[in-house]
Amino acid sequence: MSFLRERMGTILVVIIGLALFAFIAGEVITYGRSFMGGDRDEIGEVAGEKISYTDFTKNVEQNTQMFMQQSGQTSLTPQITEYVQENSWNQSVSQVILKKEMDKLNIVVGEDEIKNMISGPNPDPQIVQYFGDPKTGQLDRPKLNAFLRELQSAKDNDPRVEQWASFIAPKIEQRRIEKYFALVHNGLYVNSLEAQDAYENKGKLAKFNYVELPYSSIADNKVNPTDDDYQSYYNDHKKLFNNPQELRSFEYVSFNASPSKADSATIKEQMQKLSGELKASTNDSLFVQINSETKTPLVYAKKGQLEPQLDSVMFNATPGFIYGPYVSNGSYKIAKLVDSRIGPDSVSARHILINPAAVGGVDKAQAKADSLKKLIEGGRPFAELAKNFSEDKASAEKGGDLGTFGRGAMVPAFEEAAFNGKTGDLKIVTSQFGVHLINITGQKGSSKVVKVATVDKPLVASNSTSSTAYGKAQAFLGQVADGNFAQEAKKIGLTVKNASDVPGTASSLPGLDNAREIVKWAFNKAEDKGDVVDQVYTLGDQYVVGRLTAIKKAGTLPLEAVKEQIKGEVIQKVKAKQLMDKLSGATTLQQAAQKGGVKVVPVENVVFANPVIPGLSLEYKVIGTVFGLQPKKVSKPIEGANGVYMVSVDSFVNPAPLTNTVREKQQLGQTVLQQADNRLFDALKDKANVKDYRFKFL
């Protein structure tokens, strides 16, 4: 105690010091994490404005749903997913950039403009789509006005108010964008001098002679560029090496875990056994639900709706016929003809949809549908009850009318009831959307239809096959280190594949459709060139091991990062210098031809606007020199695209005087307009300093 009393001051100082250090260190670490990692919800930044992951995800979801509706697809491939994500990102970037420009110019859409956009003489196409008469395709103004009146009297918490605001806001923003670009377009002008130059560039003819020493006359392996050659080319073309986003390259090997012949034989044997059981089954629908990987409801199908293998046999078979096992879309399948009959080609119907969640369950929804059915049978108009009780508001406004539809247009339960009944029937069915009270109002046509029960088993690798492939991949991962990746792969007969300049958002690689996980490793876990993956990655039916080979940071790439890329251009540059030295001292084309061992070639009817040397290709520098040269003068050696040239002009033939300057201005103006929007946006985007962090999230 005496020891503590004597040293208490020192002890307190030390304790307080440690506490302060811990506090400060904690803040530094927290700040450092925030600084290094950025906002956890920040997926990018445009002109200083953050783009949140939450908002971006909502945009992706909306665009995905829109794409699926338009394409009719129920699922997206990795490539399509990547395409949708990229489009969504570009939308987010453009919205921020254009909004800042429009706000800066105070561009607004007034109340009168908004009203005109909704109910004016030329309303927005989507307004016409939602409030139009399906028979005429024209806007149903009474229907639109009734909706707008309902909206005005609706309470603030009415979901329709928010839905309408969400619907109309993008259209207002689009109108602002149109006004912004209209301002830009109105500022573009083509003067008479530009029109005259454009006219002459298209009509002035040049007759000249040239000598060409092609680059192909010197073999590539005879040229050895120096470091100075590379540096010189790099310095002259530095702007070409601006990298807008970080890219990474890696090499990888894959171990195939696809089903073996033995796996295929085993699954086929299982399906042959099921084939006998399906033939003996008395409840085919239940058999499919129990035994099939794909739980497809049994519905009648017309000719052309079955997959080709079945379509060719089932319409000529008798009920009970079994087809298969056969392979289709990566699965073994067997099929049984359950029934065949003559049925209508199309049906007209109306319905009242009841939401079980709104009335207390499916039983109560069915009871309500039964009550409505009795009211209709007692004389109450179907259309009246549909408007008052149906959850399907789109059809309710038309008395529940769904129009005329063919097979495959409706969900199975609904289709079964509509096509297997007769005109006038009232039927109650339950689907994933709720309970339907259906009234069949008409049936047209007749053709043979079949009901087929299909059982499928995916052709997948067995545990033994997968384990063997994974074991090989794991063993390979244990062997490789920086420097021996290719050697180890060669030992076991594997081909090393290269994925070059991969962006952080890539979803696929050469030979790998589902490559997202290894791309995430390359960007989020790999730190230095030579790093090997931290685990074996499972990508589809492949086990993959990779190694990082290059990192290209965003910004201007250093010479070392592009040296291999520019090798061909540098070699050509060295060849050009050698060939130009060869022509040194030549004052006539004949002397140049003699020095190069080539002939003088005559050319005529060449125009500046189409800088092509007949029989060769585009040669901008050469044709530019021709039109800047005085007749009978010989040019200096010209470094062209295909070789080194010397030219001499014989004469020019000028076009007839320009008589319609206005038309020439209009044509040139159209060209300028076509290029203006993209050039403007590229300039704005470059100025906005776009930062893309998507690779951390996707």
The stretch 533-552 carries a mean pLDDT of 92
Residue 645's pLDDT is: 97
Residue 474's pLDDT is: 93
Residue 24's pLDDT is: 36
Those residues whose C-beta lies under 8 Å from the C-beta of residue 613, and which sit 6 or more positions away, are 210, 603, 606, 619, 622, 623
Q: For residues 497 and 542, give the distance between their C-alpha atoms in angstroms, rounded to a whole number.
A: 13
The stretch 510-526 carries a mean pLDDT of 87
Query: Between β-strands 331-343 and 638-639, what pairing exists: parallel, antiparallel or unpaired?
Result: unpaired
CB 455 within 8 A of CB 328: no
Cα-flanking dihedrals φ and ψ of residue 142, to 5°?
Answer: -60, -40
The stretch 373-383 carries a mean pLDDT of 93
What DSSP character marks residue 610?
A: S
User: Any idea which residue has 């992951």 for tokens?
Assistant: 53
Q: For residues 159 and 83, give the distance between their C-alpha atoms in angstroms, rounded to a whole number.
A: 32
The pTM of this model reads: 0.63
The token duo for 428 is 């109650």
Residue 693's pLDDT is: 84
- Sheet harboring 300-302: ordered strands across? 300-302, 447-458, 331-343, 322-328
pLDDT digits (tens, 9 = 90+) for 52-90: 888 888 888 888 888 887 777 777 777 788 888 888 888
Please return the burial class of 415, using the count of CB atoms within 10 Å of its CB with bins 0-12, 13-18 and 19+.
buried
CB 562 within 8 A of CB 241: yes
Residue 482's pLDDT is: 63
Say whether 499 sits in a helix, a strand or coil. Answer: strand
Q: For residues 322 and 337, give the distance between their C-alpha atoms in angstroms, rounded to a whole number.
A: 7
pLDDT-derived band at 40 (thresholds 50, 70, 90) equals low
The amino acid occupying position 605 is N
Residue 457's pLDDT is: 95
The amino acid occupying position 286 is L
Q: Which of 52-61, 258-267, 331-340 has the lowest mean pLDDT?
A: 52-61
The stretch 529-537 carries a mean pLDDT of 92
CB 251 within 8 A of CB 260: no
Selection from 438, 398, 407, 408 nearest residue 422 by Cα: 438
**HSE, side-chain direction, 13 A CA sphere, residue 364:** 7
Q: Which of 18-22, 47-51, 240-244, 521-525 has the lowest mean pLDDT?
A: 18-22
The token duo for 122 is 């030329």
Give residue 209's Cα distance to chain centre. Answer: 50
Selection from 604, 624, 629 nearest residue 614 by Cα: 604
pLDDT digits (tens, 9 = 90+) for 460-485: 999 999 999 999 999 999 988 766 89
% of residues, the chain, pLDDT over 70? 94
pLDDT digits (tens, 9 = 90+) for 272-319: 999 999 999 999 999 999 999 998 889 898 898 899 989 889 999 999
CB 536 within 8 A of CB 551: no
Query: Between β-strands 643-653 and 205-214, what pairing exists: parallel, antiparallel or unpaired?
Result: antiparallel
Q: Which of 20-29, 213-222, 245-254, 619-628 has the lowest mean pLDDT?
A: 20-29
